[in-house]
Structures are given as structure tokens and as C-alpha cells.
Amino acid sequence: MRTVKISACQFSVEKVDHFAAFQEQVSQLMDQVPQDSDYVIFPELLTVGLLMSLPDSDQLKAEDLYRIDAYTSQYRELFTGIATTRKQIIIAGSHLERRGDKYYNIAYIFKPDGTYIEHKKTHIFPAEAKWQTSEGDDLAVFDIGPAKIGLAVCYESEIPEISRILSVNGAEIIFCPSYTFTEYGFWRVRHCAQARAIENQVYFVHCPTVGTPGEPLPNGYGRASILSPCDTAWSPNGVVGEAETNKNMVLSGSVDIDELYANRRNGAATTFEDRTRRRDVYNKYEPFQSLSR
């Protein structure tokens, strides 16, 4: 049995007037994280409250959110310090960051040795366009800690090809930091996360930003969850663990990685293999023909 413990930090965004206040928010959640958690995840764009710490904050609008890039160095230093001090793998949500003449929504994995890995969100939700956000082009699986992991940031969970690419390339857990502004958005991501877990026979961890900070910052709605395929090795609804809606809190739970491989061989629904097995049928139809050109 290869057991992995996961903690999802459901972060309630607030307006803060300096970086130290944001750091205190992070620290309060980390104090609730068990020391034996293998992976700790924070949600998408958890740094948005820092927009209100800028000198001209009273004149800023939601369209100015990209300016939180001013805190990129401090954000990295904070989570590098947490990962190295606690000797844990920290998936520190994501942060808007400038690279050259473009801005990207970048998710980070901070490792206990002081290094980090990044993933630029490849599919931008339509509302993000107002933040001048560009899309990344790479999907990777990372062999970090006791499992092979991938990242699908919020809207990326709604694009089935992303999770399929990650799982075929070895991902056993897909981590999904998200920021959904409405209950509709939350359920889109949540339902898709559960579907991706079933389709690919992987674990899927959904960790949302929540809170009602008020204009110009967007509200967050969500309920963190650790999800599995819906089969006899797990609960019937595929929910390993679930947080309370919109509460600033930590959800922790454990999963058995070996059980995924047993389920792919012997489960009631062997979707991981079956999605490839009948490629000869799929290739006769659009969109598979156009995708292969």
C-alpha cells in the first residue's frame, strides 16, 4: 500500500494593506496542516488581496489585477521558506506574473530542497482576458514526493484533453487550484474534476479560493475536495474528503496510490484503458480526424 496524505488549504481572500498581512493569512492555515502531509495545496490566485496594498489602490479596478506581479519575489520567498522549513511539498496555488511583455497565471510547486517547478495555465477562462493574461503551452507530469503529480488550474479541469495527457504520461494525482466567482463556476469545476477522476482513474484534488473581499476584487465560491474514481475501493460518490463551503479551513485526507492501478485492471469501469482501446472507432469521426491532421 502506497499511502499519500494531502492537505488542501481553502483560502479566504481578504483585502490586505501589506505583504505581512497576507503572509499571516497563509501562516494561519499552515498551522492547521498536519506535519505528515505529503502534499499541501493552496488555491488559484490567492495573492489577489495584495492588489489593495498598492499605493494607488483606491483608484484600481479588477482589470488592474495583473499588477500583483509586484509581489512575485516575496510570494516565491514565502513559499520557498515554508517548504524548506516544514520539509513538505507545497503547491502554492497560482500567481499572476509578468514574463517579458506578457502576463501568465503561473502555478508553483515548491520542494523541500528549496527549488520550485512552475506551470503556466494553458487555457484561460474568458473572464481572465481582462487581466492581460496569456496562455502557456506545456503540460508536464512531475515525479515529486511519493506520487507522480500533474496540475490542472481551474478552467483546465474543464478541458478533458489536459487530464488525459497528464494521466497517460503517468500522473496519479491531479491537483486543481481554482478561483470561481459564482456557485455556477464552482460546480462546473467540481463536476469536471469528478469526471476527470472517473475517466482517467486518478485522484483529483480541487482547492478553491473563497471569500467576499468586495470590489474591485472578485468574490470566491467553493468547497475543497479530494476525489477518486467512483468504484468499490472508495466511497460510492467518489468523495474521499470535502471541506465546508466558503470556510477558511484546511481539508486533509489520505489516498492509496496502488489502489488506482488495481482499479484500472479490475474495476467495474476500466475507463483508463478503454478510452484508448477503441481508437480505431474514434478515428473515423470528427473531431479525431481533424486532431490527427
Which are the catalytic amino acids? 44, 121, 154
**Which residue in 40, 46, 90 sits closest to 71, CA to CA?**
46
Residues in CB range of 55: below 8 A, 6 or more apart: none
∠ CA 53-54-60 to the nearest 5 degrees? Answer: 105
Calculated CA dihedral for residues 21, 54, 248, 130, nearest 10 degrees:
-160
> CA angle at residue 83 from 82 to 86, to 5 degrees?
75
Evaluate whether 60 touches 49 at the Cβ level (below 8 Å).
no
Cell of 291: 486532431
Q: What are phi and psi of 280, to 5 degrees?
A: -60, -30
What are the grid coordinates assigned to 99, written together? 514574463
CA end-to-end distance (rounded Å), the chain: 43
Q: Is 179 exposed, middle or buried (0-12, 13-18, 19+ CB in 10 A)?
A: buried
Q: Is 131 helix (H, G, I), strand (E, B) or coil?
A: helix
- Between CA 242 and CA 255 the distance in angstroms is 13
